[in-house]
Copies of this chain bind each other. A is one copy, B any other.
């Protein structure tokens, strides 16, 4: 088991400054531990993810694990960074693929939310609410993500930038609604039959918020 090691070096970015080093095996093991952590969080929840569990999932002893990560906290911290980088990477990829197509953008982000990374991130985000140490790491990343989300939108829809308020609204609506649907699905508060209609409605709403698309009834009651 665990034969996918080479490319892991670049993934964690934790290797020494020198490129080809003797212990790139170390980086592979670190990556294996982080992957195991994500899997455990998804499967058992963050609260129930304990160090022996992660070590077993990674096929390592607890001692070996604490050799690579000084403490359980350090592991979690590295996992968060890894998740954030994956999030951004998937983002860059998406921004190159579909240019200006609302439908693709919605479906792309929806696909993103199906991956285990989102579940793990959501678990951590909820935990951070009552864990100051976690919040200190997570909150800045949340802000950075939302910010890049907006920046990407401005890049994909240049004609939209003038109406920045509507652009922000459309992006926030997309992010919040889709993540809300996914969370509700995870917690059993969502009728699966309504998912597609909701996504369709979201698409329509985003299109309607785009300038020069007719339909100017938005926020008719505010200024």
Contact = CB atoms under 8 A, between A and B. Distances in A.
Nearest to A194: B172
A110 to B, nearest CB: 14
A43 B131 CA distance: 10
A47 to B, nearest CB: 3
A129 B186 contact: yes
Contacts of A135: 188
A78 to B, nearest CB: 20
Contacts of A184: 175-176, 179-180
A125 B221 contact: no
Interface in A132-188: 135, 138-139, 142-143, 145-146, 165, 168-169, 172-173, 175-177, 179-181, 183-184, 186-188
A138 to B, nearest CB: 7
A148 to B, nearest CB: 13
A188 B128 contact: yes
A125 B191 contact: no
B201 A129 contact: no
Contacts of A142: 187-189
B198 A172 contact: yes
Contact of A187 (B125, B191, B204): B125
A80 to B, nearest CB: 13
Contacts of A205: 201, 205
Interface string A201-214: 10111001000000
A197 B180 contact: no
Contacts of A4: none
A197 B176 contact: no
Interface in A76-123: 122-123
A217 to B, nearest CB: 7
Interface of A: 43-48, 122-123, 125-131, 135, 138-139, 142-143, 145-146, 165, 168-169, 172-173, 175-177, 179-181, 183-184, 186-191, 194, 196-198, 200-201, 203-205, 208, 215, 217-222
Q: Closest 3 A-B residue pairs measured CB to CB?
A: A180-B180, A47-B47, A45-B130
